[in-house]
Structure 1
Amino acid sequence: MTAHTPDATGRVTLTMIASEAGVSVSTVSKVLNGRSDVSTDTKERVEGVMDQLGYQRRPARRRGAVVDLVLNELDSLWSVEIIRGVDEVLHGAGASMVLSAVHGRSSDTREWIDQLAARRSNGAILVVSDLTQQQRKRLTALDVPFVLLDPVGNVDALVPTVGATNWAGAVSATEHLIALGHTRIAHLAGPRQVLCSRARADGFRATMERAGLPMPDGWVVHGEFNDSSGRAETARLLDGLGASGEEPPTAVFAASDLQALGAFEVLRDRGYSIPTDISVVGFDDLPVARWTHPPLTTVRQPLFDMATVAANALLRIIDGEPADQLRLELATQLVVRGSTAPPRATGRPGSRLDI
C-alpha cells in the first residue's frame, strides 16, 4: 500500500482511506454505514486502514439532526434511488430527513428555503434544476451547510458536489455500439443547460468524431430525462429523416433510461424490432431496465451510492469538519443486455416485433 498521511489540517479523508485500501470512495462509505453488500475481506481491509490512519468517527452532533433532501420531483424512479440512499445513511446516524419537491420552479425553491429556516434544519442535500447565487448566499447566511448532488449548472468552487463520470459513461455506450458495427447512431440528449446532459452529449460526439463517423444535422435531439420526452424526441428524429428521405439510424443512445423507454414505445408503434432493426442504449440502470423486453443495455449510474456519499459528506460538515472532497465523481459502468446487437443490412423495419 502507498503511505498516506493526514492533510495539513490533520484530517483523514475518505479519499485517503479509499486510495490506501484500494477501493472506491463509495465502498468506504458503505463500510461506514454498515452495509451488508461489502465482502468481509474488503470490510476488514477498509477498517484496518481507518485504524492505521487514525480515522475518527464523530456521531455526536449528527444524532437528532434534521436534514432536508430537495429534489425536482418525488415520483420518478430516479428520485426513489436517491431517497433510498440518503435515508439509509441518515437512519443509521440517528438523523431525520425532510423531503421537498420544487418541480423546477424558483418560487417553490424560495418557499422551501423559508420552511428550512423555520424548522432550523441542520443541513441540506440539493438535487434541483437550478440554485441561484442569491439562494446560495441565503443558505450561507442561515448557516445551513449543503451538498449538491448531480449538479445542474456551474457551481461555486467551494460548494461540495457529488456526481458521476457522465462523459466516460457516454463514451463507453457509444464505443459499445461502434464495436457492434453501427455507424449510423443517433443521440436522444437531455436538457442543454444541465451539466450531466452536456457531458453525455459531449462524450457521444467525441467518440463518434474519433471513429470518423458522421453526425448529420438532426441526429442529436435534445429533450428532458423522462419517457414522454423520449417518445417526442424519437418521433421528431424519425419524422425528420422520413421527410428528407434518409435511412433511419441503426442505433440510438438515450441520455436516460426513461428516454430509452419512450424510444421503445415509438419504435414499436412504427414497426421496428429491437435490436434487430435498431439497437437502443440507455443511461442510469434504473431497476426497470432489466425488466423491459428486451432488457435494456444501459450505463449504470450509481445513484444509490452517490446519495450515500453525499449524505456522509453532509454529516461530516454537520459534525464540524470540512467536506472530505469538494468534487466527487463516482464511476459509471456499461451493462450489456438484450437491446443491442450488430446492425442488419438495412435500417428499414423488420417483419416481426421483439418489443
Structure 2
Amino acid sequence: MAQEGRTTTLARVAASAGVSVATVSKVLNGRADVGPETRARVESLLAAHDYVARRAEVPEAEASQHTVELVFHGPLTAYTTEILQGVLEGAGERKVSVSVSVRPRSQPTPGALRPAAWARELADLGRRGVIDVVDDARHGDLPALVRAGIPLVVIDPLSPPRKELASVGTTNFSGGLAATQHLLDLGHRRVAYIGCDPSSAYNQARVHGFRAACEAAGVPVPDEYVRIGSFDFAAGVEGGGALLELPEPPTAVFAATDQIAAGVLEAARRHGARVPQDLSVVGFDDTAVAEILSPPLTTVRQPLREMGRVALVTALRVAAREPLDSHHVELATELVVRSSTAAIAAP
C-alpha cells in the first residue's frame, strides 16, 4: 500500500505539471536533462504534496553516503558546542564527514525550507544519517525525516523517547535529585527551582527529581518557588530576581541549565545577595561557563561530548541496519561541587 501511494503521488504530480512520471523521477534524482521551468514546477508540486524521496530513489547521492547531518535549533551555545565536539571526535575516529544545519524549532522562519522539503533535500544528498539535537518527535522536522527513511538519532528529545526512534540522553531525574539533595544536606529548607520548556521531557525529569528530594526530606515547595521560562541567561536573571523579591525568598536555587544559573548569579548581584553566603546556586550541564563564573558553579555534569559520540555511533549502526541494544540510551550524570553552594548561615 505504501508503494502504491507513492506511485500515485508521482502520477498526480506528473499530471499536474503536464509531464511524464519519468520526468518527475529525473527531478527527484537531480538529473540535468530537465528544463529549469519544468524543474521548478515539479519541485513546487512535490513540496505541495509533502513528497519525500527515499534514499533508494536517489542513486546519484551515493558519493555523499559518508556524511552525517548534525542539526541544531537556534544559535550554538556552550551546551551545543560540547555536543558538536563529541560528534566531530566520533566522526574523525570513524572516517565520516559531518555537515551542520541550523533549523527553526517549530515556527517557520524566512528562507527556511518546510520540513518535508528539507528532508527531501537531505535524502537527495544521500546523507548517511541525521543527528538532531533537542527536538520534538511530535511535530516539526522529525516526522518528515522519519518519512524520508533517513537513519535518525535524537539527542535530548523534548518529548518522551519513542521505541521506533533512536535517542540519547542522560539521567535527568537522578541529576535533579542529586542537585537538590546536595542543597538539603547543606541545611537549606527554602529551595527553589528555575526550569525551562514545561513540555520538555528533560525539564520534567529534572523538576520531578527536585520535588522528589524535597518530599523525601519533608520540605514543602511553595508554588512561587517553581518558575518555568526559557533555558537561557535572561530567564535566570528574571526568575532569580522574582524569587529574591519574595517576602520569604529562597536560600538556595536549583537551575535547570548552567545558563539559567549564570543568570541567577547576576540577579543575586543586582539584589545585593552574596553567593553562596546568602544564596546557594546549582546548575545543570557542566559546560565551560560553569568554571569561569564567579563564584565557580556547582552543577550536575552531563557527559555532553560522550553524548555526541554515542549519537554518531548509533546513527551509523542504524544506517547499517545493525540491531540496537536499546533505542534510548541514558548516560550517567554526576554532581560537581564548586564554590556557589555552602551550608546555610546560622540565624
With the length of structure 2 as denominator, give the TM-score of the two structures: 0.76
Q: How does 1:158-237 map to 2 (within 5 A)?
A: 158-237=164-243
User: In the superposition, relative to structure 1, how do residues 169 and 106 fare at CA in structure 2: closer, same or farther (>3 Å)?
Assistant: same
- Which of 154, 163, 169 is the aligned partner of 1:148? 154
Question: Unpaired runs of 5+ in structure 2?
Answer: 1-61
Give the Cα–Cα distance (whole angstroms) in 1 for the partners of residues 228 and 320 of structure 2.
Answer: 42
153-162 vs 194-203, greater mean Cα deviation: 153-162
Q: How does 1:189-338 map to 2 (within 5 A)?
A: 189-239=195-245, 241=246, 246-338=247-339
| 1:14-42 Cα deviation digits (max 9, x unpaired) | xxxxxxxxxxxxxxxxxxxxxxxxxxxxx
Question: Unpaired runs of 5+ in structure 1?
Answer: 1-60, 347-355
Deviation for aligned residue 1:125 = 0.6
- Which of 119, 123, 131 is the aligned partner of 2:129? 123
User: In the superposition, relative to structure 1, how do residues 185 and 319 fare at CA in structure 2: closer, same or farther (>3 Å)?
Assistant: same
Q: How does 1:337-348 map to 2 (within 5 A)?
A: 337-345=338-346
Give the Cα–Cα distance (whole angstroms) in 2 for the partners of residues 178 and 62 of structure 1.
Answer: 57
RMSD between aligned residues: 2.0
Larger Rg: 2
| 1:146-194 Cα deviation digits (max 9, x unpaired) | 0111110124222111100000001101111111110010111121011
Deviation for aligned residue 1:208 = 0.4
Percentage of matched positions with identical amino acids: 40
User: In the superposition, relative to structure 1, how do residues 333 and 286 fare at CA in structure 2: closer, same or farther (>3 Å)?
Assistant: same
What secondary structure does 1:92 align onto?
Answer: helix
User: In the superposition, relative to structure 1, how do residues 121 and 179 fare at CA in structure 2: closer, same or farther (>3 Å)?
Assistant: same
Partner of 1:80: 81
- One-letter code of the match for 1:336? V
- One-letter code of the match for 1:71? F
1:90 aligns with 2:96: no
User: In the superposition, relative to structure 1, how do residues 128 and 340 fare at CA in structure 2: closer, same or farther (>3 Å)?
Assistant: closer
Residues 243 and 250, structure 2, Cα contact 8 Å, conserved in 1: no
What secondary structure does 1:232 align onto?
Answer: helix
What secondary structure does 2:220 align onto?
Answer: coil
Residues 167 and 199, structure 1, Cα contact 8 Å, conserved in 2: yes
Give the Cα–Cα distance (whole angstroms) in 2 for the partners of residues 294 and 170 of structure 1.
Answer: 21
Give the Cα–Cα distance (whole angstroms) in 2 for the partners of residues 129 and 143 of structure 1.
Answer: 18
What is the aligned residue count?
281
User: In the superposition, relative to structure 1, how do residues 268 and 137 fare at CA in structure 2: closer, same or farther (>3 Å)?
Assistant: closer
What secondary structure does 1:103 align onto?
Answer: coil
Residues 68 and 131, structure 2, Cα contact 8 Å, conserved in 1: yes
User: In the superposition, relative to structure 1, how do residues 63 and 317 fare at CA in structure 2: closer, same or farther (>3 Å)?
Assistant: farther
1:69 aligns with 2:70: yes
Residues 62 and 319, structure 1, Cα contact 8 Å, conserved in 2: no
User: In the superposition, relative to structure 1, how do residues 197 and 137 fare at CA in structure 2: closer, same or farther (>3 Å)?
Assistant: closer
User: In the superposition, relative to structure 1, how do residues 169 and 134 fare at CA in structure 2: closer, same or farther (>3 Å)?
Assistant: closer
Deviation for aligned residue 1:337 = 0.4
With the length of structure 1 as denominator, give the TM-score of the two structures: 0.75
Partner of 1:56: none
User: In the superposition, relative to structure 1, how do residues 285 and 311 fare at CA in structure 2: closer, same or farther (>3 Å)?
Assistant: same
